[in-house]
Chains A and B, each alone.
Chain A
């Protein structure tokens, strides 16, 4: 299989990842080879096999609906690139 530049750009956009022109060429080659490599999975007979999402047979635990956490937003926002009045700033989304 050979993935096109257009497909590469589409995947990169879905992943919100800017990639350079040179990277498009390299990744098109890499991904085509990776997809060819994983193609061998189609050889395995998996009729009636349940998909396995998790290695242990365990049920999802629920916790009691109680307040256990206190507000730490000022502390957490010290790691943010841009904050004002306790809010995270991003480019304008709505006109």
Chain B
């Protein structure tokens, strides 16, 4: 049963092939057996899961089941879960038990999902390889000497290894789409404001967005439908109705205008990835889409823009970790300032410190205009490039990442090399656009992702194109040989 998608499991539960309790027990067995090998989990909530599964079975028996009732999922460990550890894979939060649920967690719980646990990640979602976790790196189920991508690496590995059919993640510069591509699954980052950020530990508040990691676009549609919606508790939540994303999945792609940015096919793109992505775009053309070349002239500046804006927001957001109200506090200190400095020095890992320092520098007196204000202006130019492109196309397609999964430790010495991994994904975050990655090939037995980006609140069209693509290809059904 672990090979089934959410949509398939939902039908099996409905027809009584097995109960949610049986399904949950089976998947918990896999989590126990394979979770440690991949280091995909921070916390496994077995007892709670079985309780929720039994409640879901009762709800179904009472005739009150929806498409997610009884479906096991996992949450990235930066969504607050009441009564369960929420660590952000950081020493500074390794004892934090949230007193409340994130809206995403609440919405999915109310839809009847069963939480199997919390997944490993790059500390505070800062990273592209899941090597920046205080609990150690996550391994890629396709090749355990390689990274699964990051920062939602534990969620991606758990879904790819068939430990769970769906997971939540967050995407600030590619943290859902990049691990989805490197792990061979479907990852959706919705429009900024589509899903509530309440209870999602903040990294860069103008870029962070919660989304899904699943094995099909159909499953992403099901999960997004339950997660999305206006939330008065998030001041940037969009006051927009949530469409029925499943209803339009099978719509024809006839005449759909897809733009392919020349800038995405630069020298940095590995030739085998290029071929796989070009083949995928041809499949979309065969389905009726009209393909044209577009330009995003300022896209080359997206990584440097991001590495000013994101650290600046991070240095401000992470000032709340001071050892007073929650989290780790140093044992010995001389005075208040010393307590702050020692607590934070002990609690944060190297990459988080690097970003706090970078952010503090670009916001400091004398540098603010040259770096932070300049980056905000370039961000405007990048967003304007996308807005211009969407005047003539409906969707934008290209690669998700420049290469397949790289080896553990290959890029840890040079932050810039690691940052350049997100060169194709960061633009959508800067402009607040929805994007998804779907599997579109294998290179030396490692998955490659096709990225599709839509206009603001255009998730339905994005999922429609991805679903139709998955009706005529089978890359998303390929599984790593891990058992």
Contacts and interface: CB of A to CB of B under 8 A. Distances in A.
B348 interface: yes
A40 B360 contact: no
Contacts of B232: 61, 63
Given A34-B358, A52-B380, A80-B325, A58 B238 contact: yes
A33 B419 CA distance: 12
B236 A58 contact: yes
B354 A27 contact: yes
B416 A91 contact: no
Interface string B307-319: 1100000010001
B215 interface: no
Interface string A59-86: 0110100000000100111111110000
Interface stretch (B7-15, B144-152, B371-379): B371-379
Contacts of A91: 333-336, 338-339
Contacts of A63: 232
A27 B358 CA distance: 9
B65 interface: no
A23 B356 CA distance: 14
A60 B235 contact: yes
Interface in B306-365: 307-308, 315, 319, 322-329, 333-342, 344-346, 348, 350, 353-354, 356-358, 360-362, 364
Given A58-B236, A91-B335, A37 B307 contact: yes
Interface size class of B (residues with CB under 8 A): 35 or more
A41 B305 contact: yes
Contacts of A93: 336
B192 A55 contact: yes
Contact of B378 (A46, A76, A92): A46
B97 interface: yes
B164 interface: no
Contacts of B235: 60-61
B301 interface: yes
A5 interface: no
7 contacts: A37-B307, A41-B304, A58-B236, A80-B325, A81-B329, A91-B334, A91-B339
Interface of B: 95-97, 99, 192-193, 206-207, 232, 235-236, 238-239, 298, 301, 303-305, 307-308, 315, 319, 322-329, 333-342, 344-346, 348, 350, 353-354, 356-358, 360-362, 364, 370-371, 373-381, 383, 414-416, 419, 429-433, 456
What 9 A-B pairs come out closest when comparing CB atoms? A55-B432, A18-B345, A51-B376, A81-B329, A46-B377, A79-B326, A52-B380, A18-B341, A16-B340
